[in-house]
Amino acid sequence: MHAVIKSPAKQRKSVASVCPSEEDDLCQLVEEVTGNRWLAQASDWLIARPLSILTLIVFALVVRWLLHRMIDRIAARAGEGTVPGVIARGRMPQMFLERRPAVAQRRQQRAATMGGMLKSIATGVVFTVMVFMVVSELGYDIAPLIASAGIIGVALGFGSQSLVKDFLSGVFLILEDQYGVGDVVDAGSATGEIEAVGLRVTRLRDVNGTVWYVRNGEILAVGNMSQSWARTVLDIQVAFTADLTRVRELLLEVARDVWEDPEFQPDILEEPEVWGVERWDPDGIVMRLVLKTAPLEQWRVAREMRERIKDRFDAEGIEIPLPQRMVWHRDAPATQPSPERTAE
């Protein structure tokens, strides 16, 4: 028997007939190593594409891990930041921060919330891109998918404009720290303490205990009464006959007593001030007294001040005026008797 030896040209021709392309090195390699024509033809689906898809998945996981790590570092920095807007005058703001750990805790909670939301968005974007690349790797045209996704996105955008508006407003509310859980705010339609801040609605409870749900997209302006610092403003009314110089001295003494009281000392950030005569009312003269306080402590300080001012005014004999009215008494003109009609 004579061994039949194939020439290199015949070998290349045989391989070319098996592999769809002469540039398919993997197919040729499998054919040369295994000699299995079916395995060589299926090498693209059994080896090449699974490896490509696995590489895409690993790459997406690595990118996701890097993005999450970066977001965690940014969130950690934001959570450890100092409270902005505190004026470094009078008592040091650091005392305020050490005394109210809830402020730092709220900042950390806000940073953690934003970090979680950003990580969810990053995960969604990364895996969406990965899915499109996997579909393209499988040999399908992704142009219709992209066009369909765009059309669906536009349709959803038109159909849920208010929802998108609420969502975006909620993102910026949290990102800009306009308010947080525990703050007392005036949202226009409702005023009260914030109990929960969501991406779509904000839940707050007013002083009567009523729970309000306010859509974030409907909040055009919000007043936060508990950021950085607050102010107790007291308008004290005295009689027109009162000695205003003495009244000013007494108000300042009472305010300083409260300021130096160990119970209220941490809550008052600066020395109290008497601004003077605020206005004239029909019943008396109004004097204005102000104290700069820690957030959410302005009402407690105001109640204590009113009690002490009342006791001090009573001890000094200063009258707190009651409503006054001036009544004019005039004598009615004598009425002329009507002439009697005489009978004809």
pTM of the model: 0.55
- Give mean pLDDT, residues 125-143: 81
Q: Sketch the domain layout of the chain as residue ranges.
A: 47-159, 178-224, 230-316
Residue 124 — pLDDT band, cuts 50, 70, 90? confident
Q: What is the pLDDT of residue 99?
A: 47
Q: Which CATH class is domain 47-159?
A: mainly alpha
CATH of domain 178-224: 2.30.30.60
Band of residue 219 on the pLDDT scale cut at 50, 70, 90: confident
Q: Do domains 178-224 and 230-316 have the same CATH topology?
A: no
Q: Identify the pLDDT of residue 4.
A: 45
Higher pLDDT, 145 or 225: 225
- CA–CA distance, 95 with 267 (Å, rounded to integer): 10
pLDDT band at 43 (very low <50, low <70, confident <90, very high): low
**Pick from 83, 15, 9: which is nearest to 43 by CA?**
15
Q: What was the pLDDT predicted at 140?
A: 76
pLDDT at 16: 46
- Does the domain at residues 230-316 carry the CATH identifier 3.40.50.2000? no
Reported confidence tier of residue 141, pLDDT bands at 50, 70, 90? confident
What is the Cα–Cα distance from 89 to 95, expressed in whole angstroms? 12
Question: Of 181 and 279, which is predicted with more confidence?
Answer: 279
Looking at every residue in the chain, the average pLDDT score rounds to 76
- In contact, 206 and 192? CB cutoff 8 Å: yes
Structure tokens at 174: 């949290």
